[in-house]
Structure 1
Amino acid sequence: MATDPALLAHIRDLFAGLGPISTGRMFSGTALYVEGDVMFAAILGGTVWMKSDDSTRAQFDAAGSRPFSYMRGSGPREAASLMSLPDSAMDDPDEAMQWARLSLAPARDAAIRKRAQKARKLARPQAER
């Protein structure tokens, strides 16, 4: 299912304080990027998911957020690297920005790891690729 354009516009407005936001396809939804390749949030299944890691998980848990989950052949899987944006933030730009700023550190760390992985892959001899 594609992301509802009205929801995407609303989310872009909520996070406008981060600066220019670009988007890309992610599964059947939309990934939200700042600073070029820093994916700080995604819209999947009508829910906004914020980038998270061990340093931010407790704050998301305390706010009632839940981890992204999906089905695999072996059963349900959880991806705690994406936590739901608390419902209260959907209509409160100030609160939404607090969550977006919290998500930036894990998002930047993930982008750094992804860039390094890409560089290693490009550095391998053609025969190994």
Structure 2
Amino acid sequence: MDNERIEELFEGLGPVTIRRLFGGKGIYHRGVIVAIVLRGELMLKGDDETGPEYEAAGGSRWTYVGKRHGKTVAMPYWTVPDGALDDPDEMTFWARKAYEAGVRSEK
């Protein structure tokens, strides 16, 4: 996903900055991380409050199997809910949720 597309998707939230992160990209709004792009997939920041909302809307949590102990590790990022990538208003709704989760995680 190129930077122009990322900026377009988050336009309803406001300006974002994009930095390299985890071999992918970190997307920040007002200095708060709101999303990442990893292996070409956009994932939104979430937490205990927003995770169930992402899942109810068709999003799934990023997990991976740790190399040292073979245990599944859950990261605080969810795939974008169905349809949001094609609907600016819906994307803005989820981007705001991601920003709120990012703000909460910094406290």
Q: Same fold (TM over 0.5)?
A: yes
**Aligned residue runs from structure 1 range 1-129, under 5 A:** 4-5=1-2, 8-35=3-30, 37-73=31-67, 74-75=69-70, 76-79=72-75, 81-112=76-107
Runs of 4+ in structure 1 off by over 4 angstroms are none
Q: What SS class does the counterpart of residue 12 from structure 2 fall into?
A: helix
Task: Give the residue type in structure 2 aligned to 1:52.
Answer: G
Structure 1 unaligned spans of 5+: 113-129
Q: Distance in 2 between matches of 1:11 and 1:92?
A: 14
TM-score under structure 1 normalisation?
A: 0.74
Note the aligned Cα RMSD (angstroms): 1.4
- Aligned mates of 2:73, 2:11 — CA distance in 1: 32
Gaps of 5+ in 2: none
SS in 1 for 2:49: coil
User: Which structure is higher in helix share?
Assistant: 1
The AA in structure 1 aligned to 2:74 is E
1:61 Cα shift? 1.0
Superposed CA offset, 1:96-129 (max 9, x none): 10100111111012234xxxxxxxxxxxxxxxxx
Deviations 1:35-90 (A, max 9, x none): 1x2001111111111111111111111011111122321234221x1111113111
Number of equivalent positions: 105
Distance 1:61 1:44 in 2: 19
Local SS of the residue matching 1:16: coil
* Aligned 8 A contact 1:39 1:111 in 2: no
Identical counterparts, % of pairs = 33
User: CA offset at residue 14 of structure 1?
Assistant: 1.5
